[in-house]
Amino acid sequence: MLYNLGLIAVFVFAITGVLASAPKTQNIFSLVVLGLITSVGGGTIRDVILMVPVFWLTEFIYVWIAIAGSIAAFLLFRQLQRSINVLLYLDAIGVSIFAIEAMNKSYSVNANAGVAVIMGLITGIGGGILRDVLAGRPNLLVSQDLYASPILIGCIAYPILLRLLPNPETSQLVAMLLIFLMRAAAIHWNLRMPNWLHVKPTEAGQQKSDV
């Protein structure tokens, strides 16, 4: 079931990737490339750093699904733009699956919990960041959206849950649910990072810190 949900997630990522890129580039070729990068970019960086074969070299179905999602987004652009909220929730499901699955993959090559958390995060946000850099949009790291923090919290919770709960399947499900619920809350109430988690650099200091 997770495998099928993973394929749906790739499809949804490609759609949101195309919708996010369309203000910057409108031709189908660039949109398909950016949709594909949004879908498989994070997992590609993860696999390269872990030195395991990049997943879509052996499971090319992921590329086909991402291309299909991108073309669907191109053809049904206005309809999908109107249902962007539904897509955001589907994206939240996808990202929670991807992040925890990335941690399982890291554990399977004997990575420690810290590495696994980083891989969960890279897989969750890497594709979207790559897309934004290539499309010339402000990326997650400079936006105010609560996107990465829910993933980080869920990824940190997972190794703890693995110790507390009786079986790995439950831990995995709880960690995914945790990410999804935090992300859904952020979408629903349009949550932002609280103010005390921000620095307020002085104007003068900003210029001097230009290293």
Contact residues for its own copies (CB under 8 A)?
Answer: 16, 19-20, 22-31, 33-34, 44, 48-51, 53-54, 56-57, 60, 63-64, 74, 77-78, 81-82, 84, 87-88, 91, 111-112, 114-115, 118, 129, 133-136, 138-142, 144, 148-149, 152, 193, 197-202, 205-206, 208-211
Burial status of residue 16 (CB atoms within 10 A of its CB: 0-12, 13-18, 19 or more) = buried
Distance of closest approach, residue 100 Cβ to its own copies, in angstroms: 19
Distance of closest approach, residue 118 Cβ to its own copies, in angstroms: 7
Residue number, 63 or 165, with CB nearest to its own copies: 63
Distance of closest approach, residue 123 Cβ to its own copies, in angstroms: 14
Tell me the C-alpha distance between 172 and 207, whole Å. Answer: 45
Residue 90 CA from chain centroid, whole number: 12
Tell me the C-alpha distance between 152 and 100, whole Å. Answer: 10
Q: Give the DSSP H/E element, type plus range, for residue 184.
A: helix 168-188
Distance of closest approach, residue 31 Cβ to its own copies, in angstroms: 7
Write down the residue that tokens 């891989």 correspond to: 119
Residue 138 structure tokens? 């402000």
Residue number, 139 or 173, with CB nearest to its own copies: 139
